[in-house]
Amino acid sequence: MSEFQNIQEEQKAEEKEYTTLNLGPTHPATHGIFQNVLQMDGEIIRDAVPTIGYIHRAFEKLAERRPYAQITVLTDRLNYCSSPINNMGWEMTVEKLLNVKLPKRVEHMRVVIMELARIADHIICNSVVGVDTGALTGFTYIFQWREKIYEIFEDICGARLTTNIGRIGGFERQWPDKVWAKIDDFLKKFPKILKEFESLLMRNRIFMDRTIGAGPIKPERALEYGFTGPNLRAAGLDYDVRVTNPYSSYEDFKFDIPIGKEGDVYDRFMVREHEMWQSLSIIEQAMKMIDRKEPVFHADVPDFFLPPKEKVYNDMEALIYHFKIVMGEMDIPVGNVYHAVEGGNGELGFYLESDGGRTPYRLHFRRPCFIYYQAYPELIKGSMLSDAILTMSSMNVIAGELDA
Amino acid sequence: MAVLTPEQTMALHDEVLAALKGKFGEGILSSSCEYDFPVFVVDKDIMHDVLVFVKETPSLNYHFLTTMCAMNYPEKTGNEFAMMYQLHNMPENKRIRFKTFIPEQKLEIATITDIWPAANWMERQEYDFFGVNFIGHPNLIRILNMEDITFFPMRKDFALEDPTRDDKNDSMFGR
Amino acid sequence: MAKSPEGLEGPGFFLTSMEKAVGLARKNSIWPLPFATSCCGIEFMATMASHYDLGRFGSERLSFSPRQADLLMVMGTIAKKMGPVLKQVYEQMAEPRWVLSMGACASSGGIFDTYSVLQGIDRIIPVDVYIPGCPPRPEQVIEGLMKIQDLVGNESLRRRNSPEYKSLMNKYGIE
């Protein structure tokens, strides 16, 4: 009897009864394995409890057991949509620890690769926002051009997605001639494609109605939640690591930081869209600065730079250095260093603690996704279920980076 | 402003240290410059107050929590664990780092989720990895690993490899 | 157009065995369930998109409901936390069902020999085709799918009723 009374009283206290909906972890609309237990009032979300960790791979623990050169491989798999940025972020962290200064040409080459990776990242995010509003055309159309970027990566390093591009101290080899031709071709043709992609969505009435006002966040709140990158800029704050703490000679380039106003899905889409244009302009500037005939592709630091294979087989010294580096017998200074790069999703930081051993003593990744995804319940409270999906895809939450 | 020069880092270090010493005195145990970061080692009992102070004081205004993480030093008796907090003053583009040591017997520290909501998951992650108990955290449960595991995987004494694998014969690897 | 199987042909009729006709139909309209968790999922997106176009092999219709899917494509790392979910998805699929394991992580744990990663999905569900690579190229994915097509096309209609198949399922604890 008393139990029955309790139930009755509970119902009275809470006039509305909410439906519990389990979204994920294998839900097709969530683009990855994110689980959210939603409290639904009809079509309106009242509360959400996210669960993460479904692909926790223990990067930080693994990094404590790997020599420095082998950690580049792990960083590939953080934000796998733009792995070259992660690779180079890690390499620059180690270079900072070792006090290695790179030649300008190499730094500019890195900028070209990083900006290409940024375009590749934003292509995925923006085209998937299009898919979630029901426009598959843009996705199939622009994805062909992502393949072109892959081809460029492939010609440089041999891999498409998980690139492991570059080495500590520069690039692994001189870029082949066809890479230059491919980048030129990309710069010439891609603007037209991007424009077409934009005209498909940007002023599309349906797209605008779906996205404007969905999942907004105020700039103050975004800062408290640790937002960085395009999501913070969409909220109206012009924080960009490339400008505030320039790395890899970003200070040589002139580019704008696009910002939004409302911090909603549409603004995030627009910020990414404009960033692609800025990236194109940066690549163009860099291509003008780079002397294509110059043979320099790495810093002159034989202690740390893994020598090219043909040298290893023919040169005694190179063989010794190769052996030392591969076995992790480098002279690593003791110290703590933090280095941040502007990844596809925001400030990707590497906090590295070295005790002079062959592996890092502690390596902590500041993963932008992990930090801003915790604001997701707040963003979707009070919105429709379909907007929640849209908010997630526009935030560009990448499972690999989220769960590390 | 590019990466700080050693002189600029030192100047920033002196500026923040003066403010901290004025307020907390002996609570600031030591300080140094590591690459382009001023680092302050703080007593763990006042860590929370220090962070509130540098956030709320207008002349300092370190309003953005960049990241935080825990560390394990098994050989440092009495200071087996450490927490690192990294703050950012975005308008003036200044970054500082705090570090505090915690003994293994009393592995707990005040939560900072009341200062930054962003610290919520970061603290849960460090609890998951190291077992650091954040006092006052609203929902201190495991975040990345399964809830039913009993170990703290990032501690130095925990083995990395999956224990269920039987196809890895160590004699093949020369170990 | 798919090649017709061996059989008797004449004006207005074509005669072949039931098994071959069913195999032909099944193999050219495989509905895959993409169980994409990480990096391999992005490469699968490339395979599905216009450049490689999996639709050429009759598999453009992704079935996100396990109950209507023929082929479970497991792409990416499966953590131990995810293992039960994967098994449940497999159990929900109707017979006949096939499993394709894409990438090193799904096949063997890959580079992630850690406490949190399942060392190969064949520890919890039976796998028909493995695709090596980290991640595999789209061409490899297509080849893997063609291997699945071979299996599907040549499978005996009675295989799923055989005691060998039952004992295989029992080995994994699937009724």
Question: What's the per-residue H, E or C state across A64-132?
Answer: CCCCHHHHHHHHHCCCHHHHHHHHHHHHHHHHHHHCCCCCHHHHHHHHHHHHHHHHHHHHHHHHHHHHH
* Angle formed at CA A114 by CA A342 and CA A267, multiple of 5 degrees: 50
For the cut 90, the answer to whether the pLDDT of residue A184 exceeds it is: yes
**What are the tokens at B129?**
């990895």
How many whole angstroms separate alpha carbon A253 and alpha carbon A126?
25
Confidence of residue A1 (pLDDT cuts 50, 70, 90): very low
For the cut 70, the answer to whether the pLDDT of residue A149 exceeds it is: yes
For the cut 80, the answer to whether the pLDDT of residue A10 exceeds it is: no
pLDDT at B170: 65
Mean pLDDT for the stretch of residues A283-301: 91
Contact at CB, C113 and B160, closer than 8 angstroms: yes
A182 CB-side CA count, 13 A: 20
pLDDT at C7: 87
Chain B residues within an 8 Å CB radius of A375: 117
pLDDT at A6: 57
pLDDT 10s digits, C10-54 = 999 999 999 999 999 998 999 999 988 888 888 888 888 888 888
Kindly give the residue spans of alpha helices, DSSP state H, lying in A260-384.
Answer: 265-289, 309-314, 316-326, 368-372, 376-380
Which chains lie within 8 Å of chain B at 3 or more CB pairs, if any? A, C
How many whole angstroms separate alpha carbon C28 and alpha carbon C1?
10
* Angle formed at CA C145 by CA C141 and CA C147, multiple of 5 degrees: 115
The predicted model scores a pTM of 0.92
Mean pLDDT for the stretch of residues B27-54: 92
Task: Say if residue C37 is exposed, middle or buried (CB neighbours under 10 Å; 0-12, 13-18, 19+).
Answer: buried
Mean pLDDT for the stretch of residues A111-129: 93
For the cut 90, the answer to whether the pLDDT of residue A341 exceeds it is: yes
pLDDT at A3: 53
Cα diameter, chain B: 62
Residue of A217, A225, A363 best to disrupt the B interface, most CBs of B under 10 A: A225
Chain C: nearest CA to B160, how far in angstroms?
A: 5
The pLDDT > 70 percentage for chain C reads 100
Q: Which residues of C touch B (CB under 8 A)?
A: 80-81, 109, 113-117, 119
Which chains lie within 8 Å of chain A at 3 or more CB pairs, if any? B, C
Mean pLDDT for the stretch of residues A212-223: 91
Contacts B–C by Cβ distance under 8 A: 27
pLDDT 10s digits, A51-78 = 998 889 989 999 998 888 889 999 988 8
Q: Do A77 and A66 touch, CB atoms closer than 8 A? A: no
pLDDT 10s digits, B89-126 = 999 889 999 999 999 999 999 999 999 999 999 999 99
Mean pLDDT of chain A: 89
Mean pLDDT for the stretch of residues C136-158: 91
Residue of A23, A26, A30, A163 best to disrupt the C interface, most CBs of C under 10 A: A26
CB proximity A329 to C under 8 Å: no
Contact at CB, B69 and A364, closer than 8 angstroms: yes
Contact at CB, C113 and B146, closer than 8 angstroms: no
For the cut 80, the answer to whether the pLDDT of residue A28 exceeds it is: no
Give me the amino acid identity at A359. T
Mean pLDDT for the stretch of residues A395-399: 89
Question: Quick one: how far is CA A392 from the chain centroid?
Answer: 15
Q: Among A6-20, A80-94, A187-201, which stretch is predicted with the lowest mean pLDDT?
A: A6-20
For the cut 60, the answer to whether the pLDDT of residue A7 exceeds it is: no
For the cut 70, the answer to whether the pLDDT of residue A11 exceeds it is: no
The pLDDT > 90 percentage for chain A reads 58
Give me the amino acid identity at A375. A
| Buried residues in A207-234 as b, exposed as e (16+ CB within 10 A) | beebbeebbbbebebbbbbbbbbbbbbb
Mean pLDDT of chain B: 88
Q: Could you tell me where the beta strands, DSSP code E, fall in chain B?
A: 28-34, 37-42, 64-72, 81-89, 94-102, 108-110, 133-135
Q: Which residues of B touch A (CB under 8 A)?
A: 1-3, 34-35, 37, 39, 63-67, 69, 71-72, 84, 86, 90, 93, 95, 97, 116-118, 120-122, 125, 129, 142-146, 153-154, 158, 160
Q: The complex's ipTM?
A: 0.92
Mean pLDDT for the stretch of residues A72-92: 91
Closest CA to A113 of A179, A185, A195: A179
Q: Do B162 and C119 touch, CB atoms closer than 8 A? A: yes
CB proximity B169 to C under 8 Å: no
Chain A residues within an 8 Å CB radius of B145: 53, 56
Chain A residues within an 8 Å CB radius of B129: 60
For the cut 60, the answer to whether the pLDDT of residue A4 exceeds it is: no
**A243 secondary structure, DSSP code:** H
pLDDT at B1: 43
Chain B: nearest CA to C144, how far in angstroms?
A: 25
Mean pLDDT for the stretch of residues A31-49: 88
**What are the tokens at B132?**
């650091």
pLDDT at A259: 93
CB proximity C46 to A under 8 Å: yes
Determine the residue of chain B that is closest to C84 in CA distance: B146
Determine the residue of chain A that is closest to C48 in CA distance: A140
